Structure 1
Amino acid sequence: MIDEDFVLPDRGDEQEGAPESAVPAGDPDEAVRLFHSYRRLMAQILGYEEELPEPASEEDLAAVEDRFGVVLPPDLRALYGIADGDGDLINALFDRHPWLPLAEIGDQDDEWLDIAQEWQYEPWRRTVFDAQPPNAVLRSSLRPGWIRFAFDTGGNWLAVDMDPGPNGRPGQVISVGVDYTTEPTYIADSVTTFLRRLVEALERGDYRRHDESLWIDADLPQLPVEHATYSEDRPSLARAMRAGPRVQEVRVVDVEDCAFLAAVPEVRSLALSSKGSPDLTPLGDRPVEYLELDVESADLTAPARNRELRSLSITCVRPVELAPLRTVPNLWALDIAAAPVADIATVTQLKGLRYLEVTQDQWRELSELDDLPPLAVVGIHPHRPERDWPSSTDWVTSYDDPPRS
């Protein structure tokens, strides 16, 4: 059962703290100088100068700003005062990202995001990770304040971020799109800095000619910065330390001791598999938002101390008690289909729960209880599932009410 009106929680909406500086880092005068320097260098290298479209009018700029409810950063605004995008240039101004005319800003097809959030792809198991530098970009896949101004033609965009994180600046340049659904990528603190790096790379000779195009090596991220995934059999503290402190996703099997978590203080997505019953105490002070357990038995006391926990999947042999979860303030997704549950009625006390995955027998027992949480998505297995690991499920989706018996 799926409530079609349900909107997935956006982690970026929950981040607290305004940016330390509300002033954009870019300089419109420098951006214009860099623009002309870039064009001059390109003409020298190519042997000809490509023609630009006419400038955008002040009225067109004001209309775009009115539509989005934000003022464009002064440096990008100044560039539109030179040309309304880069037209049909072979060599796009922003290095293989054609610069969009104002008429096309906000006219993007976001089917990529709709697909990523379809329930058969189990978006509740995914975490949007923190970009580098930390807390500069809000942890969302897409936000209204991200104004996309250049396109790579493959489903990704450059955007000026007018809704930055607490350590960011308005007008910073980020990459968003189909390759960035789990981690938007910070590119530069401004369009000005982006252009400066391109110009400096051309001056150094850091480019390759590819037919009529130039591929510029400006040392800018082209794909999401690796958030570091630590995945291993029989993890150890020493090996985890080599993985680095910025590890945000951990998948490990044959867990005997969770001490390795001391070396990954920023882990946000954690999947643990063990033939035994490892001590989960180290989980209590880790910012884990998605937790997947495949163990002999699970004591949820320590994981429940983690106020960041949002999604939990449990596979176990012995009955598990859900009572500790009553103190978890942000838990909205729970998968207990592959676990015998000692206190199934506890589900009625998890008022923030919106996603629930259960067996037919578990749902039958729950449906006889009063005051269930306002569930938006219920996944019901005919029998206890045999889990692949990490977990995934092939769903048949129904938009009707769930079965009551």
Structure 2
Amino acid sequence: MATSSRQNRPFLYVIDEEFVPPDRGDEQEGPESAVPAGDPDEAVRLLHHYRQLMARILGYEEELPEPASEEALVAVEEELGVALPADLRALYGVADGDGDLVNPLFDRQDWLPLAEIGDLDDEWLDIAQEWRFEPWRRTVFDARPPHAVRRSPLRAGWIRFAFDTGGNWLAVDMDPGPNGRPGQVIKVGVDYVEGPVYVADSVTTFLRRLVEALERGDYRRRDKSLWIDTDLPDLAGRHGWYSGGPPSCARAGQAGPRVQEVRVTDVEDCAFLAAMPEVCSLALSSRGSPDLTPLGGHPVEYLELDVESADLTAPARNRELCSLSVTCARPVELAPLRTVPHLWALDIAAAPVADIATVSELTGLRYLEVTRDQWRELSELGDLPQLALVGVHPHRPERDRPSRTTWVTTYDEPPSPTA
């Protein structure tokens, strides 16, 4: 009974433990302007004014720790391999973090001492990238404003300096995207695996907004604590997304140029994508065979199709396509995928394939999801791509939303055709 149960479970074979999904942030250009927006003198003035305002509101002043020494600053920068922006560096010349303040200086986020900046536990990211969570189905989205922050979950140039105690940090971005500036403030962490959030162009601006909020009276007093209502962005609106039936372009507010994630059902015509030019994660479901021609003009990186029949000619014209999952009733031809330069993940377990030998020609493929019969057929062909992971289902899986599989993960080669 145990053997039979084991044979009927989907197995994920991790062949290369060192492989990680490509980081789109690595492919982006650096900033057009390398001049930071922060001002160290103004940042220090704002910090003192901010503390005066808080003391006036609270009726007492909390004491800051001693300043960090120049030697400590230099040592941290050498350890990180990145220089701190001048405004944050100047603040450490006032205090080495905010110690045990009841009201952390950075809007309920603890300002870290230098000793903790270079010694952070990133288990949250290791967990998020575990193969059982299927990172090949996940896209890192662009922040707002567009192209200011690189599309990565975490980078060496993101220096985290404040912590919310829940697995998220404020960071100064010393490795910005083409439209960003060094020293801009972003949010990263466990709640931002799908993409960081742009907060402000500098620590100076961040402090200025906190000061302005206190001066406007935009705060709430809770016993000894102060909750400041700033206009800083957070999780809401991190990236636009749409879910439901195909939207009518005439209905204002349901679609727009910053919609990056789309999940639609009952698709007959993909023309609605004209209202969503920046979509990069797309799931289409249809009882028929919709015309996929509009997909060729979109920067879709993850495409999930659940249709009666699928013609991959149009999707294959999209040079950004990285990961494809196909569920269909009629045989699909993979031949168009030969020309897709960045395709590294392919899920065909829920699709009959007319030309399965084409898989051997997809040289960039690193992840493949198939049925046991499909894997047996491919194994007999030989000359497969240098696969890092292979997911094998005992039989064709039923695809439901969300299309996630409870894998039995094993760090080994997939079984031979006779297994």
Question: After TM superposition, is the score higher than 0.5?
Answer: yes
Counterpart in the other structure of 2:145: 133
Which of 365, 372, 378 is residue 390 of structure 2 equivalent to?
378
1:146 and 2:158 matched: yes
Which of 91, 100, 117 is residue 79 of structure 1 equivalent to?
91
1:6 and 2:31 matched: no
TM-score (ref. length: structure 2) = 0.95
Alignment of 1:63-74 (within 5 A): 63-74=75-86
1:363 and 2:364 matched: no
1:250-301 Cα shifts (integer Å, max 9, x gaps) = 0011101111001000001000000000000000000000000000000000
**1:390 Cα deviation (Å)?**
3.5
**Separation of aligned partners in 2, 1:226 and 1:399:** 35
**Separation of aligned partners in 2, 1:234 and 1:355:** 30
Letter in 1 for 2:399: R
TM-score (ref. length: structure 1) = 0.98
Letter in 2 for 1:46: L
Which of 280, 286, 309 is residue 298 of structure 2 equivalent to?
286
**Separation of aligned partners in 1, 2:250 and 2:376:** 47
Counterpart in the other structure of 1:403: 415
Which of 331, 339, 363 is residue 327 of structure 1 equivalent to?
339
1:164 and 2:203 matched: no
1:264 and 2:276 matched: yes
**The residue matched to 1:397 in structure 2 has which SS?**
strand
**1:389 Cα deviation (Å)?**
2.6
1:254 and 2:271 matched: no
1:204 and 2:216 matched: yes
Letter in 2 for 1:164: P
**Separation of aligned partners in 1, 2:411 and 2:359:** 22
**Separation of aligned partners in 2, 1:193 and 1:36:** 15
Counterpart in the other structure of 1:176: 188
Letter in 2 for 1:8: P
**Separation of aligned partners in 2, 1:197 and 1:241:** 28
Letter in 2 for 1:238: A
Letter in 2 for 1:13: D
**1:234 Cα deviation (Å)?**
4.5
**1:40 Cα deviation (Å)?**
0.6
Counterpart in the other structure of 1:51: 63
**Separation of aligned partners in 2, 1:4 and 1:220:** 39
Instruction: Provide the aligned length of Structure 1 versus Structure 2.
Output: 404
RMSD between aligned residues: 1.1
1:29-81 Cα shifts (integer Å, max 9, x gaps) = 00010010001111111111101100000010001110111110000000000
Q: Would the aligned equivalents of 1:359 and 1:384 in 2 still touch at CA under 8 Å? A: yes
* Greater displacement, 104-113 / 187-196: 104-113
**1:370 Cα deviation (Å)?**
2.6
1:236 and 2:236 matched: no
**1:240 Cα deviation (Å)?**
7.9
1:312-353 Cα shifts (integer Å, max 9, x gaps) = 000001100000000000000000000000111111111110
**Separation of aligned partners in 1, 2:63 and 2:294:** 61
Q: Would the aligned equivalents of 2:144 and 2:238 in 1 still touch at CA under 8 Å? A: no
Letter in 1 for 2:366: R
Change (3 A) 1:358 1:240: farther
Which of 88, 110, 124 is residue 122 of structure 2 equivalent to?
110
1:7-28 Cα shifts (integer Å, max 9, x gaps) = 221111112x220111111000
Q: Would the aligned equivalents of 2:366 and 2:385 in 1 still touch at CA under 8 Å? A: yes
Q: Would the aligned equivalents of 2:174 and 2:183 in 1 still touch at CA under 8 Å? A: yes
Q: Would the aligned equivalents of 2:210 and 2:230 in 1 still touch at CA under 8 Å? A: yes
**1:5 Cα deviation (Å)?**
1.2
Identity %: 81
Counterpart in the other structure of 2:10: none
**Separation of aligned partners in 1, 2:377 and 2:251:** 44
**Separation of aligned partners in 1, 2:173 and 2:288:** 47
Counterpart in the other structure of 2:362: 350
**Separation of aligned partners in 1, 2:352 and 2:204:** 58
Q: Would the aligned equivalents of 1:180 and 1:224 in 2 still touch at CA under 8 Å? A: no
**Separation of aligned partners in 2, 1:349 and 1:241:** 43
